[in-house]
Structure 1
Amino acid sequence: MKRLVNFFILVINEIIKIFTKISTCIFIFLLIVIIAFIAIKAPAKVSKHAYINKLSSEVQQKEKKYGAVTAKDIKKEDNLFSFIDKKDYVLNKYALQHNIIYNYTSLWSIVNKALLLEYMVGIFLIIAAANIVSNEYKDGTIKFLLIRPYKRWQILLSKWTALLALYFGFILLIITVSIIIGGLKYGFDGFNMKDLYISNTGFVKERSMLVYQLILFAGKSINDIMAFSIAFMLSTIIKNNSLAIVGSVAVLFSGFILSLFGNRYWWIRFTPFPHMDLTQYLPDSTPLINGCTITYSAIILLLYFTVIHAVTIYVFGKRTID
């Protein structure tokens, strides 16, 4: 228990170090300003009566075009554009039949757009991860850190844990601020809005919009966590934060591009890149690589995270501090 408390104290100290930096305060302010700007530029709220009339008109037009199309029929559709059009028709028809306000301009419109800020958070954490160890060497404070009654692996792990806590703190900030600002613009009556999707079994299902947005943020967070973990490893091993930042940003943005070739080159499925976005396993999504499951992706990611941290701890543990 005492070791756990000491480790927790180390993590808190690292978080305080990061939050006392001006760059962190500026970044938090920037996130709030961008979310406010998104809300200002967002379209005005349409009345529910006008929305339902428009939706009803669209459903009637597509009903004449497609006839009695079911959710199961859509699963068999090969043409992408036809799939999207039929999917919208089936979901909108379900919403009207069950008196559900679906895909309506609400505070969740702001939250959904704010999801893109996750990439900004990822880049900020990459820079923070690249500096969190290398700056200790540069400032000479690494010596004072190591004479404390802590093992080297505890010091490293506390720094990484602080980065992880900071990351999810930023994500929570984005969600909270976007809900508040979105509510001020569109009203908070849409907070309990439902999201509709077509399940793998071919049925229209309902889910909480709040839960869905949290799943989206969580599923896409693996990409950022992997990227700043690599930055953390590189900065610890080579003590060069510039190279660590460049390499990690390359991983952050090139991973998806490489994963697109996963069905063409068999070896790509053994890299972490096609597995870093777990939202591909949602019921209404398609995995990037045929045959891959969320269990397989979790195992691959766990192996790479283990290797990254093992290499980082081993090199740092063997290094002589002058």
Structure 2
Amino acid sequence: MRNFNLLVLNEWLKISKKRSHVIPYVILLVLSLVVGYISHTFGTDMYASAAEFTSDMLRPTGIGQVLTILVIIGTAGIVSREYSQGTIKFLLIRARSRTAILASKYVTVLLYTLSMLLVAVAALFLSGVVFYGLSGGEAGISTILTSLLYSMVYCAVYATIGFMLGILTKTTGVTIGATIFATMIDKVVIPREFYKYVLFPNLDLSAYQNGGAPMQGMTLSFSIVLLCGYTALFLLAGFAVFRRRDVA
């Protein structure tokens, strides 16, 4: 376990040492303040408190989608960049299994996603306090945590897709482009029975709030099971290819 933790730490340092590392966090802070200002200026009755503003904006239909794109851009090259820079050979000659190396990279992706989400929560809440105050409305910490969970699932699944594509294509640009394109079309709903088994309509679990559903015949448990299945499939494909690929 100690060796695995060191692998994760090493991967995190690779990300954090980049000059552009802080840019996504700054973007989230600035964007939160801008959105807070605009919503307060042009729709003063839109939110009753900072908690209400934060919980609503965290969802994939709000800043949550921008957050997902930032996560994709920040983590898409965690595997593919090793190939393009030629460092993959040095990585694999260490006394570590390929599975452990790839697993440490995936854990780092999830940690990066979580860090972005926490910064987003803090930035949105700060913006909400400035423009809407702390009191008012029915939303509270539990509402924010619920939206955080929805956004975490949404971001994590897309981060997993990007992680898999980075392994399969070995190209950061293709990985970013394909995954961001998916975020742009995932709101499209095809009114056919088979479509409820597709990944996209199951991604935004916040659609089930207040008794709603993305499509008729879908339930929260149905979407959770389907998301777990798709995520497992993406990881199996990525790990299988990585373990068998010749890097000589």
Aligned partner of residue 165 in structure 1, secondary structure: helix
Displacement, 1:291? 2.0
1:266 and 2:197 aligned? no
Q: Aligned partner of 1:182: which letter?
A: G
1:99: which partner in 2? none
* Residue 23 (structure 1) aligns with: 20
CA distance in 1, matches of 2:185, 2:15: 28
Q: CA–CA distance in 2 between the matches of 1:105 and 1:295?
A: 31
Q: Is the 8 A contact 1:14 1:162 kept in 2?
A: yes
Cα deviations by residue, 1:205-264 (Å, 9 ceiling, x for unpaired):
xxx52211221232133332222211211111121222212211122121220xx22xx3
| Cα shift at 1:108 | 2.9
Q: Could you tell me how far 1:124 is from its partner in structure 2?
A: 1.8
- Asked if 2 retains the 8 angstrom alpha-carbon contact of 1:106 and 1:183, the reply is yes
Q: Cα distance 1:307–1:39, how it changes in 2: closer, same or farther (>3 A)?
A: closer
TM-score (norm 2): 0.87
- Once the two structures are TM-superposed, the CA of residue 287 in structure 1 deviates from its matched residue by 0.7
Structure 2 unmatched ranges of 5 or more:
none
Q: Which has the larger radius of gyration?
A: 1
CA contact (8 A) 1:220 1:276 kept: no
* Residue equivalent to 1:122: 68
Q: Which among 210, 216, 221 is matched to residue 290 of structure 1?
A: 216
d(CA) in 1 for partners of 2:13 and 2:57? 26
Q: How far apart are 1:30 and its partner, in Å?
A: 1.9
What corresponds to 1:241 in structure 2? 172
Bigger RCO (CA 8 Å, 6+ sep): 2
Partner of 1:163: 109
1:211 equivalent among 142, 156, 160: 142
Q: Counterpart of 2:181 in structure 1: which amino acid? A: A
Task: Pick one of 196, 203, 218 that aligns with 1:276.
Answer: 203
Q: Choose the corresponding residue for 1:8, options 5, 13, 16.
A: 5
- 2:51·2:125 contact (CA, 8 Å) conserved in 1? yes
Partner SS state of residue 158, structure 1? helix
Instruction: Name which of 224, 249, 254 aligns with 2:185.
Output: 254
1:7-61: CA deviations, max 9, x gaps?
A: 22222221221122122212212221222333444537xxxxxx9xxxxxxxxxx
Residue in structure 1 matching 2:94, options 148, 156, 164 = 148
Choose the corresponding residue for 1:222, options 153, 159, 162.
Answer: 153
For 2:106, what is the secondary structure of its paired residue?
helix
Provide the identity percentage: 26
* Equivalent position amino acid for 1:247 in 2: A
TM-score by length of 1: 0.69
Q: Mark the runs of 5 or more structure 1 residues left unpaired by the alignment.
A: 45-50, 52-102, 196-207
CA contact (8 A) 2:72 2:176 kept: yes
